[in-house]
């Protein structure tokens, strides 16, 4: 069975030990997804699988046969950049850009989690609708590190776009 990557069916690796991250980068040449720590600590490798954010360095590619994987290369549409990509430019959400693809994929998945009412460590009321305050966005994006220290711009960009519906 194939993986679906950015809408196209692609063959899985013949070696079942290959991570999804390495398969994307080395076999499919989708190098937008970055390898930072390769051990689940930095978030640079975040991609979306059926709309949920995952760390592709910790995932085996063969686990995702039949699933729909979206990388940063798959976010822009015919009309241009995804609104969150544009917001990262407008809010100075990056310097070197290494963490940026993971930040953007993670934020899209994070907003969907909020839409499903998933609470975070800083949510005061576990039963109330999620309100994506600045503190909530910071907490929910804490798995995505930015060594350039662009976090303020990153949070601004997220709150201006994908989190706006649940912002408070
Ligand atoms: S490269 Fe996957 S979390 Fe750092
Ligand atoms: S923009 Fe350089 S690590 Fe985030």
Contact 153, 161 (CB under 8 A): no
Specify the pLDDT at position 47.
98
Specify the pLDDT at position 141.
98
Q: What is the pLDDT along the chain (168 residues), one digit of tens a residue?
A: 899 999 999 999 999 999 999 999 999 999 999 999 999 999 999 999 999 999 999 999 999 999 999 999 999 988 899 999 999 999 999 999 999 999 999 999 999 999 999 999 999 988 888 899 999 999 999 999 999 999 999 999 999 998 888 887
Contact 131, 62 (CB under 8 A): no
Structure tokens at 49: 């699988």
- What's the CA gap between 124 and 92, in Å, rounded? 30
107 lines ligand 1 (CB under 6 A): no
Specify the pLDDT at position 78.
87
Question: What single string gives the DSSP state of each residue in 15-83?
Answer: STT-BHHHIIIIIS--TTS--SSSSSSS-TTEEEETTEEEEGGGSBGGGGTTSEEE-GGGT-BTTBS-H
51 lines ligand 1 (CB under 6 A): no
The ligand with the least distance to the CA atom of 154 is 2
State in Å: Cα 23 to ligand 2 middle: 23
Q: Of 161, 127, 4, give the one whose Cα is nearest residue 137.
A: 161
105 lines ligand 1 (CB under 6 A): no
45 lines ligand 1 (CB under 6 A): yes
């Amino acid at each position: 069975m194939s993986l679906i990557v950015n809408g196209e069916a692609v063959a899985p690796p013949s070696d079942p030990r290959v991570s999804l991250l390495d398969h994307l980068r080395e076999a499919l040449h989708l190098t937008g997804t970055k390898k930072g720590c390769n051990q689940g600590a930095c978030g640079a490798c975040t991609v979306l699988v059926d709309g949920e954010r995952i760390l592709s360095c910790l995932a085996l590619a063969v686990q995702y046969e039949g699933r729909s994987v979206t990388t940063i290369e798959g976010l822009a549409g015919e009309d241009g950049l995804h609104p969150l990509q544009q917001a990262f430019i407008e809010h100075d959400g990056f310097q070197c850009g290494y963490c940026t693809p993971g930040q953007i994929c993670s934020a899209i998945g994070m907003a969907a989690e909020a839409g499903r009412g998933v609470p975070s460590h800083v949510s005061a009321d576990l039963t109330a609708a999620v309100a994506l305050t600045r503190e909530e966005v910071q907490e929910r994006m804490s798995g995505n590190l930015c060594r350039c220290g662009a976090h303020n711009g990153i949070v601004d960009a997220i709150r201006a776009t994908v989190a706006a519906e649940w912002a408070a």
